[in-house]
Amino acid sequence: MPLAALRQPIIFLDVETGGRDPARHPLLTVGLVTLTEAGEITDPLHLLVKHPEYCVEPGALEVTGIDLLAHDKAAQPSSEVAQQIRAYAAGVGRVMLGGHNFEFDLRFLRFLLPDLRRVFRSGHVDTKLSAQFLIHAGLLPHTVGTPLTQLAEHFGIEYSAHNALEDATATAKVYVELLQLAGQSDE
């Protein structure tokens, strides 16, 4: 499956959190995968972030399925998680990040990585916005919604939602499908 539109790898990232406000709610997990120029998804990494205390919104843990006690035992301090993300990025090269409805994830990631713009390129790929564009361009049916679960279902991608690594992987797979749709418009 050649991807003529993919000139360099992209790191797809997803987070799970204890709420919607990065100033109050903890970043709990980070999932990363690399989408290579050949369209292969490689190097999955799932990181759990430890905090001195956890202020979570009611229902947030029900959505993610995270057991906070088990999470805390297995998690690493945020400084170690940040360093692992930097090392992961250094191994791939200074490339763009990708995600789904990605501004949400970026808000939390900026707290963890204040040097985000030095670690990754400043641009990013957002599959939600890409899907919206392709719907408006008539390349993706209007009946397909833009939530990741609906896009994954449309493309026949199976995954378990609300797990950062699963979401990052599904997002990369959806991106490949969206690229293929965009490439069909040239034919």
Q: Give me the residues paired with residue 16 across strands.
A: 29
Quick check: 106 pLDDT over 80? yes
Any alpha helices (H) in the chain, and if so which ranges? 60-64, 68-74, 78-92, 102-112, 116-119, 127-136, 148-154, 164-184
Give pLDDT tens digits for 21-40: 999 999 999 999 999 999 99
Pick the CATH number of 10-182 from 3.40.50.11860, 3.20.20.140, 3.40.50.720, 3.30.420.10: 3.30.420.10
pLDDT, tens digit, 9 for 90 and up, residues 49-66: 999 999 999 899 999 999
The per-residue pLDDT for 5 is 56
| Domain edges within the chain | 10-182
Single pTM value for the model? 0.93
User: pLDDT tens for residues 124-142?
Assistant: 999 999 999 999 999 999 9
